[in-house]
Amino acid sequence: MTVEPLALLRMFIVSLLSGIALEVLWECLGFVGFALRYRRQGGAVTFGDTPISLIVIFVKDVLFFTVAGAVVAVLIYWANDGQFRMLSPVGALLGFYICRSTLGRLLRRLNEELVKLLFAALRILFWPAKKLGLLVMSLICRGAVLLRRQRMKRYTQRRIRATNIIKIHGMPE
């Protein structure tokens, strides 16, 4: 069965683009994983330190390879009219490798700085909410203290009144 060279070129370009999209997805998942494992004082947690980091890595890998397998399967059946040709997987791998060698290297180096920038921006963004929350908690605590003092004052006044009545009239029988 012969295939037109233009169709083969279209199939190869589509597979290259899907490989590039998969690499961008991989780097985005890496960024999310790094952000989830990030600690403010100590930087990123190394891969074997905590069970949480292993879980994050496992979920990231399962998610990526599920999506990548689905994309390659759809690519093979859509671009090749259901016939398996090595051109599609090779094109996807080549696009993934090219993007990983260029943009991926840059993004991996910038991940830590991007996460620090993201957390700094979130701290700045949520600073008013934090201050408002602290103010509300302070007011609630002050109100609770004032209510407790008032309740204790009434209790003490009742005790004094009861003691004065006992002094005047004696103990009830």
pLDDT tens-digit series, residues 138-147: 989 898 889 9
Q: 60 near 111, Cβ under 8 Å?
A: no
Q: What local confidence, expressed as pLDDT, does residue 156 receive? A: 92
Q: Examine residue 162 and state whether it is found in any structural domain, yes or no.
A: no
Q: Examine residue 71 and state whether it is found in any structural domain, yes or no.
A: yes
pLDDT of 128 strictly over 60: yes
Q: Please tell me the pTM assigned to this model.
A: 0.62
Q: Examine residue 51 and state whether it is found in any structural domain, yes or no.
A: yes
Q: How many domains does the chain have?
A: 1
Contacts of 172 (CB under 8 A, 6+ apart): 166
Residue with tokens 């083969």: 8
Span 134-156, average pLDDT: 90
Copy the structure tokens of residue 125: 């963004």
Q: Examine residue 169 and state whether it is found in any structural domain, yes or no.
A: no
Q: Examine residue 18 and state whether it is found in any structural domain, yes or no.
A: yes
Domain range enclosing 30: 5-125
Copy the structure tokens of residue 49: 């330190």
Q: Examine residue 173 and state whether it is found in any structural domain, yes or no.
A: no
Q: 97 near 20, Cβ under 8 Å?
A: no
Question: Alpha-carbon distance 49 to 92, whole Å?
Answer: 34
pLDDT of 46 strictly over 60: no
Alpha helix segments (H runs only) across 37-104:
51-79, 87-99
Of these ranges, 6-15, 109-118, 147-156, the one predicted with the greatest mean pLDDT is 147-156
Q: What local confidence, expressed as pLDDT, does residue 42 receive? A: 56
pLDDT of 135 strictly over 80: yes
Residue type, 163: T
